[in-house]
Amino acid sequence: MAGSDRSEEALATYTRYVAAREKAQRGEAPWSTLGEFFTDDAVFVDPAWGRQEGRDAILRFLDDSMAGLDGWTFPEDWTMADGDRVVSFWWNRLPGTTPDGRPLQAPGVSIMRYAGDGKFDQELDVLNMVEVFEVMKASDWRPNASMKMPPDKPDRNTSPPPR
> Residue 148 falls within a domain, yes or no?
no
Task: Give Cβ neighbours of residue 53 (< 8 Å, ≥ 6 apart).
Answer: 41, 42, 43, 161
Q: Residue 38's domain is classified under what CATH number? A: 3.10.450.50
**What's the whole-model pTM score?**
0.93
Q: Quick check: is 73 in a domain?
A: yes
Answer whether residue 145 is part of any domain: no
Residues 131-153, mean pLDDT to the nearest whole number: 91
Higher pLDDT: 87 or 139? It is 87
| pLDDT tens digits along 51-87 | 999 999 999 999 999 999 989 999 999 999 999 999 9
Residue 149 in domain? no
Please state, as a whole number, how many other Cβ atoms lie within 10 Å of the Cβ of residue 8: 13
pLDDT level of residue 3 (50, 70, 90 thresholds): low
The domain of 87 spans: 3-138
Q: How many domains does the chain have?
A: 1
**Domain annotation covers residue 38:** yes
